[in-house]
Amino acid sequence: MFACPMVARRRYTIPLPGKPPLQLGTRTFVMGILNVTPDSFADGGRHADPETAIAAGLEMIAAGADIIDIGGESTRPGAEPVSAEEEMRRVLPVVEGLAAATSAPLSIDTYKAVVAREAVARGAVIINDVSGLQYDPELGPVAATTGAALILMHTRGRSSEMYQLANYSDPAREVADELRNAITRAERAGVAGDSVIVDPGLGFAKRAGHSFEVLARLETIAGLDRPILCGPWRKSFLTGALCDHAPGARDWGTAAAVTASILHGAHIVRVHNVAAMLHVVRVADRVIGF
């Protein structure tokens, strides 16, 4: 078994272009997931048209979301990629509409440089890259030149092959080492070190046991000295504890994983049901003294 010590969070200031910086560490920030796709595993494509998506994003902000993360391509294991043109058709009207309606920071969930560049031009201030700068070599320079904050997530391979690459002898240490490599890629592309946030990629290129171990040993990721984002929402790794529950039946398991993320040092949690998870977050924050 692996040890599970509670970890003290460090504090970080993340600069954002044209907005006040994110002050991370004094409380947990909640990132609301806004999938603008027809094939989301978690919400069934309910926000596939811009008007519905914009309304959903504003509802999340009203419910207490600190950041809205907008994505136009499913990156679940086995998902089919979409073209940059199609992805932009889905997300850019939503980014533009939300940027006009709220001052809340907007994140674009993409690994494509052209999508990120256009989204930042329309009001996004964070780029959330599930590939950790492995898929598109131009994405790092886009983050550098626009000044957008950059989330680097850990994964191995593409969606179609990631489980074939889920081979670890020390999951937490190997994930930390590979995230360190991603940070180096960002620095070489000109991204400022204080603009980087890391995500251990729960459920990505990891079997259930790997994800649970990484979560339990999040202090290993904290050793990178960058703020940590965790996204356990309804992920399939939760079935390692819940048996074969469908995504819609994983909310209580998600709540437990969100709590564990915070107790072990996460600065941001990425969720769909903002209103419900905000209660979880606030109680967990009190446990660690915020």
Q: What is the pLDDT of residue 147?
A: 98
What CA–CA distance (Å, rounded) separates 58 from 76? 25
Does 13 map to a domain? no
What CA–CA distance (Å, rounded) separates 17 from 261? 28
What pTM does this model have?
A: 0.92
Q: What is the pLDDT of residue 1?
A: 46
CATH number reported for the structural domain that contains residue 227 in this entry: 3.20.20.20
Does 259 map to a domain? yes
pLDDT tens for the 290 residues of the chain, in order: 444 556 678 999 999 999 999 999 999 999 999 999 885 545 545 667 899 999 999 999 999 999 999 999 987 766 778 999 999 999 999 999 999 999 999 999 999 999 999 999 999 999 999 999 999 999 999 999 999 999 999 999 988 788 889 999 999 999 999 999 999 999 999 999 999 999 999 989 999 889 989 999 999 999 999 999 998 876 666 765 555 555 555 678 889 899 999 999 999 999 999 999 999 999 999 999 87
Q: Which residues of 52-89 are buried (b: 16+ CB within 10 A; e: fewer)?
A: ebbebbbebbeeebbbbbbbbbbbbbebebbebeebbe
Does 7 map to a domain? no
Q: What is the pLDDT of residue 80?
A: 79
Question: Which residue is catalytic, options 158, 206, 226, 270?
Answer: 270
Does 266 map to a domain? yes
Does 8 map to a domain? no
Measured from the Cβ of residue 239, the count of other Cβ atoms closer than 10 Å reads: 16
Full domain range(s) for residue 196: 24-287
Does 16 map to a domain? no
Q: Measuring CA to CA, how many Å separate 271 from each of 12, 39, 169, 236, 251?
A: 21, 17, 29, 14, 10
Question: Which residue is catalytic, options 122, 156, 234, 235?
Answer: 235
Answer positive or negative: Cα dihedral of 233, 237, 239, 240. Answer: negative
Q: What are phi and psi of 230, to 5 degrees?
A: -125, 135
Does 14 map to a domain? no
For the chain, what is the domain count? 1
* Residue 235 annotated in active site: yes
What CA–CA distance (Å, rounded) separates 133 from 184? 10
- Which helix (DSSP H) or strand (DSSP E) does residue 64 occupy? none
Q: What are phi and psi of 212, to 5 degrees?
A: -65, -40
Answer positive or negative: Cα dihedral of 89, 94, 97, 99. Answer: negative
* Residue 19 annotated in active site: no
